[in-house]
Chain A
Amino acid sequence: MSLIELENVSFRYSGTSRMILEDVSFSIEEGEFVAVFGEGKSTLLMCLCGAIPHLLPGKFSGHVRVDGMDTETHKIAEISRKVGVVLQDPENQLFNLTVEGDVVFGMENLQVPPEDMEARMVDALQTVRMSDFRRRMSHELSGGQKQRAAIASVLAMESKILVMDEPTRELDPMGTEEVFEVLGRLKQQGKTIVIVENDPEHLAPLADKMVLLRDGHLELVAEPREFYRRIKDDKRIRFPQVTQLYFQLEEKMGLGSKVPLTLEEGVELFSRV
């Protein structure tokens, strides 16, 4: 059984007639890093964490199962034990005065015994390289540090799945680099990650699977090289620069069938020509 299963999921927000998601079905295996593109991607993430149908008003149909748990029939608190969510603006996810307070916040809500909290907090802070910031005031951190603290607060809840809605959108390049470094480490640790993000340079090397939504429908689910090849004429999706160059020169130079996703792969490919 897959870790996440979507079955004929449809949704429209209250007060609107437009379907944001329509009959969307696909599955995600444990340990996969999945990037979601297109229209309705954030809504899809809200379905995965149970915010839809529990918190955001609208008409929902279909089934979302995370680790065997139907999100419609289980409470949001139960789902939060399985799915941790990181939103766009880190300012809105740090509710406490210090980093330490934020990392323990979810654990306290989930009634984790106090004697277990220290070890889980230390682990989470180490993973995001924020151990030295434990007692720092949240409002004194940089954007990247705040987002890493937000990720640590979710990791400490020990949820199997990490859902991230444009976690670097509000960050400068340095902050973006920091967050993707953490994501790389989490992928290596086998965490299942579903992410909406507009940074193809960082995303392509990490993703195992890419999902494209168009007009509410699921248009494509594929591994990154296949994904970019299938949508190479779609101007609405940003490609890694080296991938874009490959598609422009592919036929003229006979570059072979392996689509490069990183600069290193591009250098290797073009140096052979």
Chain B
Amino acid sequence: MPKFLFASALEKDAATFFSRLHPTTMLIALGCMVVIIFSTLNFLALVGILAFLFLIVVFDGMPKQSTFTVLLVVIPLCVFITLIQALTDPNQIIARFDLFGMGILVSQEGIFLGLSITLRVALMALTMTMFFTVVHPVKLTRALYDMGMPFKFAYTFVLALRFLPLILDELATINNAQKSRGYDIDRVNPAIKVLKMFPLTIPLILGALKRADTIALAMDLKAFDAYPKRTFFIALQKGSADTVVRAVSVVAMVFFVVVTFQGIL
């Protein structure tokens, strides 16, 4: 189970500054951060944003290991992107070498562009992880509902988080059952492992469809989505910190967009 997705918000019960904020505030901050990340490809600016996010994680008391784990996940993708950019960009060639009779050119501009794109991917991953680490999924559902999203759509996120561990457990059970019959996917190379996974997904999908039917029945029997309005046990509160964070987020976003379009960054 990818526990880092919501561990902090649930287990520490709103123990950090950001997890105490209204989910709508966090959605605004997230939106602004996404715009900022996509507004520039300046390498130094992106490094600065990364350093800023590091400071937030450290000083807000978010679980560092689980939050930063996501960076390890995107490293292979980042290396791949940088390599492709370095070898395909025709500008500012800094090295040439011969590989199987082919002339390979390495571009400095390509390396920086690749690293910038890489940083952008890493920043997006880190920002989303931080968001889901501090925002309680149920509060997020409530906020989305308050913003006008139909509850059955807003609730999908909670439902997915609830049943993800169950589906992973079922996959492990199917895997173990097949192992006991000599079908071992764990001690083969990764490419073959992917191919050998396909037969395992069939019982998993069939089981999930059957379970989905029962879950839908059980939810209907509890009057899910039966009335246009519903009440909520959890109350959302907005304080002065929300106003400050919203204002800072919007000002920062406007600043970044303006300086980027003026060519300063």
Contacts and interface: CB of A to CB of B under 8 A. Distances in A.
Interface range on chain B: under 10, 10 to 19, 20 to 34, or 35 or more? 20 to 34
B162 A117 contact: no
A215 B162 CA distance: 39
B209 to A, nearest CB: 13
B229 interface: yes
B214 A114 contact: no
Contacts of B211: 91-92
Interface range on chain A: under 10, 10 to 19, 20 to 34, or 35 or more? 35 or more
Interface string A112-134: 11100110010000000000000
Interface stretch (B20-28, B35-43, B57-65, B216-224): B216-224
B227 to A, nearest CB: 6
A105 B161 contact: no
A111 interface: yes
Contact of B162 (A108, A135, A138, A153): A138
Contacts of A151: none
Contacts of B90: none
A57 to B, nearest CB: 12
A6 to B, nearest CB: 19
Contact of A111 (B13, B165, B221, B229): B229
A138 B13 CA distance: 16
Contact of B214 (A92, A105, A109): A92
Contacts of A49: 221
A98 interface: yes
Interface string A56-95: 1000000000000000000111001100010101011111
Nearest to A50: B221
A55 B220 CA distance: 8
B137 interface: yes
Nearest to A93: B218
Contacts of A54: 220
A46 B56 CA distance: 53
A222 to B, nearest CB: 29
